[in-house]
Structure 1
Amino acid sequence: MPELTLESHQQPIYSLAHRRTVGVEALLRAREGDALISPLDAYARHTGDRHRFDLDVAATHCRHAAQEACADRWLFLNVDPATLASRDHADALAARMLESGLSPSKVVLEVLEHALEADDALIDNARRLRKQGFLIAVDDFGVGHSNLDRVCLLEPDFVKFDRNLLRRSTEQPRTRNLLTKLVHLMHEIGALVVIEGVETETDVLVALESGCDLVQGYYIARPAPVPDGDEAITPRVDARWDELMVRELMKRKLSRRQIELARQAFVQSAIALMQGTAFTDAARPMLALPDVIRCFLLDSSGRQIGRNLNARGSSDTGQPKFAPLADTTGAVWSRRGYFQHAIDQPGVLYMSEPYLSMTDTRNCVTLSMAIEIDEDLHVLCADVLVAR
């Protein structure tokens, strides 16, 4: 029978900010003689002992990485959940990796997210290895139901987003917004984010927009015993950076113009209100602008006075299914930032961060200003549509 040979291939993990490869994921390639076979077949032809096979694979990857002598790169290793679920097996794995000469701080152990769901021993052992100096990554985050509480309990150094999350983000604007928020959420728990499956120019642009830290995929570099270096990778990524910067610059120029027009019209409406003009007439300069959705007026406690005044062609709800939210008369918006900022600084125009409007679930910013009408403090508000 031909001899079974285990080989280690590496796929670069690239830092968008540093513009260089900062890690590699080790991927198994197995040969039986001259024929390439799958890892599953390799396991079957090995000893039949899953744990021993995992140790030999880890040793193969670590020896290869040690020979590369890349002191400034992490080695990302996939670890079988069954290995981490056993303290003895986890200790044996750590010992085998240390024999290669690699420092624990250069080894990132990848744990599948779904394996965290009901295995306290796995989490305990992973955290113990982390205390020994190894780094921990949650792999395939975003597959099906995500266990955020378990991820937080593990306290990973990295979270690797599943490639399907990226696929959906390139096709659906709402998922793209979710991707950005998930990146921020992982940053909040102290983890760097790796987006996997970056295979096209569009994938790179979405990854860049998301604010993620690291990327991995065929567009960056394919797995190989000695994969592409940064001299090949960086020009590809830089071209997408340039494309994104041009696009963002155009968007900002457009937004600045739109916001400036909205500010001017808002001040005009506010002055008219303070001079005693009826709200329906005073709001006309604002409602005439193409990106203004609605105007509304609040009293000094944040309670809405009357219904929304909607721009021409717009209704209280963008879609009939949101009709139960249409009438906001008497609604209390006192906890909204746009009200609180306005009431704290009367006469100062405030613009909120983009958010999802509860009235019709469109993304908007709200302009607001506290003004006196008939000697009582009111807050004038206008919602301005922003692109997703």
Structure 2
Amino acid sequence: MLLDSHFQPIYSLAHRRTVGMEALLRATEAGQALSPLQVYERYIRRDERVALDLAVCEAHCRRYADMPQQQPRWLFLNVDAMTLSDAKQACELGRIISDSGIAPQRVVLEVLEQAIELDARLIEGVATLREQGCLLAIDDFGVGHSNLDRVCSLEPDFVKFDRNLLRSAVTQQRTRNLLSRLVRLMHEIGALVVVEGVETDSDVVVALDSGCDLVQGFYVARPSAVPDADTLITPRLDAKWDELMNREMLRRKLNRRQLELSRQAFVQTAIALMQGSEFRFAAQPMMALPDVIRCFLLDDEGRQKGPNLNVRQLSEADTLRFAPIEDTTGAVWSRRSYFQHAIDQPGVLYMSEPYLSMTDTRTCVTLSMSIEIDEAMHVLCADVLLPR
């Protein structure tokens, strides 16, 4: 059996250049290619698996050290959790890295998220290599039963999202929204996000739109003994970035137009209320807009006065599904940002960030303004859908 190393670029969207290389095992036997899984399945005993893992890492390091280095880049090494869970073998891996001539600070150790068990041995092994300077990446996050507590406890420098998460985000809007939120969540725990499996035009657009930091996949560059240079990679991604920006500019233009119409109608409603008009009549300018979902009125403590004025009615099936939360009369919305901002700045129109409505689980923004009605402070609110 012949073993070899190929490398796949990991590309920074912000820097517009390759910032890392993932080392990948390539094996052949009698002229037939073997997958890494087929290779490792031949070594069942723990000591055999760990020995093979160390030998492969050593081969990757030596091969990578021999490659011409024009800019500083990370070397991403796939390491079996069993290797890291053995303090002695973790130290041996550290020695292999040092002997190769690669600075430990340039090595990122990839561990499969599903293989992680938060026991003292694994944490000790990771700590040993981190003390030496190595970085840590959690690989294949988002596949199966991902565990945020498991990820947070190891405090990784990188989290690599599983390709199936990207596949789902391409075809399902909800998963696409979730992808962006997961990126922000990983940023909050201090990890950079790599989206793997970027292979098609649609994959690139979704990855770019997610706010991730780094991308990897066949669209960027295929694994190779001599991987593509940035002179080939960057023009491909720049073209997609320009396409996305043009689309985003059009979407923002439509949003601005829609929201401007909503603001104008909202102000008309507020003026009518302050002049003594009944709510259902005063709200007619807002209710006439196609993207307004509902209008409602709060007192100065955030308690809703009367029912919602609904514009966009739910289907009969959804009405039954959300019946327990349909009636919001007397509900207290004082913890919502749209109420707090309105109370803090009377007469100033506020627009919330997009959020999930508690009334019918649709994503919307809320326009709000604190106004005086019959010498008492009230907050006028309107939920508005944003175009996709």
TM normalised by structure 2 equals: 0.95
Moved beyond 6 Å, runs of 4+: 44-48
Q: What residue in structure 1 maps to residue 18 of structure 2?
A: 21
Task: Provide the rounded CA distance (Å) in 2 between the counterparts of 1:210 and 1:45.
Answer: 39
Give yes or no for contact 2:109–2:135 (8 Å, CA) kept in 1: yes
Match of 1:154 in 2: 154
Q: 1:93 to 1:312 in 2, by over 3 A?
A: closer
User: Is 2:71 the partner of 1:36?
Assistant: no
Structural mapping, 1:240-251, within 5 Å = 240-251=240-251
Q: Deviations over 1:126-147 (max 9, x none)?
A: 1221121001000011112222
Structure 1 residues 95-104 or 336-345, which shifts more? 95-104
Shift of 1:99: 1.1
**Cα distance change, pair 276–97 in 1 and its aligned pair in 2 (3 A):** same
- Structure-2 separation of matches of 1:280 and 1:358: 22
Q: 1:34 to 1:146 in 2, by over 3 A?
A: closer
Call closer, same or farther: CA 1:284–1:314 in 2, change over 3 Å: farther
Structure 2 equivalent of residue 93 of structure 1: 93
Q: What runs of 5+ residues in structure 1 fail to find an aligned partner?
A: none
What displacement does 1:320 show? 3.1
Secondary structure in 2 matching 1:306: coil
- Contact persistence 2:104–2:134 (CA under 8 A): yes
Give the equivalent residue in structure 2 for 1:110.
110
Task: Summarize the Cα distance change of 1:30–1:315 in structure 2 as closer, same or farther, 3 Å threshold.
Answer: closer
**In the alignment, residue 62 of structure 2 is paired with which amino acid?**
R
Contact 1:338 1:366 in 2 (8 A): yes
Instruction: Tell me whether 1:260 sits opposite 2:257 in the alignment.
Output: no
Give the distance between the partners of 1:41 and 1:114, measured in 2 at CA: 19
Structure 2 alignment gaps of length 5 or more: none
The CA RMSD measured in Å over matched residues stands at 1.9
Question: What's the % identity of the aligned pairs?
Answer: 68
- The 1:285–1:46 alpha-carbon spacing in structure 2 relative to 1, beyond 3 Å, is closer
Q: Give the whole-Å Cα distance in 1 for the aligned partners of 2:187 and 2:342.
A: 30
Query: Which residue does 1:368 correspond to in 2?
Result: 368
SS in 1 for 2:223: coil
**Contact 2:94 2:132 (8 Å CA) reproduced:** no
CA distance in 1, matches of 2:111, 2:386: 39
Greater mean alpha carbon deviation, residues 62-71 or residues 296-305? 62-71
Match of 1:305 in 2: 305
Report how far residue 180 of structure 1 moved: 0.5
Number of paired residues?
385
- Report deviation, 1:116: 2.1
In structure 2, how many angstroms separate the alpha carbons of the residues matched to 1:58 and 1:346? 63
The verdict on how the C-alpha distance between 1:262 and 1:346 changes in structure 2, with shifts beyond 3 A counting, is same
State the distance in 1 between where 2:137 and 2:39 align. 25
Aligned mates of 1:194, 1:286 — CA distance in 2:
43
Q: CA deviation at 1:51?
A: 2.1
Q: Structure 1 316/46 Cα, relative in aligned 2: closer, same or farther at 3 Å?
A: closer
Report the alpha carbon displacement of residue 305 of structure 1 after superposing the two structures with TM. 0.2
Distance 2:128 2:262 in 1: 56
Q: Find the counterpart in structure 1 of residue 204 from structure 2.
A: 204
Aligned to 1:11: 8
For 2:356, the equivalent position in structure 1 comes to 356
Which of 198-207 and 123-132 deviates more? 123-132
Measure how far apart 1:317 and its partner are: 9.5
1:328 has 2:328 as partner: yes
How far residue 31 of structure 1 moved from its aligned partner, in angstroms, is 2.9
**Deviation string, structure 1 residues 165-200 (Cα, Å, up to 9, x no partner):** 111111111111111010000000100000001111
Corresponding residue number in structure 1 for 2:66 = 67
